[in-house]
Amino acid sequence: MTRTEEVYDKFATLRRMLADQLQRPVFMACGPYGRQYFDYFFRESLLFGRSIVFTTDTANDKEIPGAEYSFGQLHQVMSLSEYDALVQWRRPVIRLHLSREFPAALDQMLDVFARALRRMQR
């Protein structure tokens, strides 16, 4: 995803919605630096719960000089490997793939989560 203030605001809204409903802290790490957080939180035996790995198609992909793959493909593979590692460790995880249609995809994501969280309150 393109790292814009709007994208961060939408994910911050999602984090607040989840934290309020679940009554527990919700950690989010975005973009290529998310891998560093993943290593620390998931491989250093800290307690953690359910995970959601968000992926998307890369809108502004750049080629890596001398490589047969792009930065977008590299980040996608890294995200999928983190998801696969959580599955292999039998951790509760889901993967949600968002389309490139921003901000509509983010608005739709927030709507889906809001409806699901309302259903949990019943």
The tens digit of pLDDT for each residue in 8-47 reads 899 899 999 999 998 888 877 766 555 566 566 655 545 5
Does the pLDDT value for residue 100 go beyond 80? no
Please give the mean pLDDT across all residues of the chain: 79
Tokens (6 digits) for 22? 């679940």
The encoded tokens of residue 64 equal: 């890596």
Give residue 110's domain range. Answer: 5-121
Confidence of residue 110 (pLDDT cuts 50, 70, 90): very high
Rounded CA separation 69/77 (Å) = 11
Domain count, the chain: 1
User: Scanning the structure block, which residue is given the tokens 């307690």?
Assistant: 47
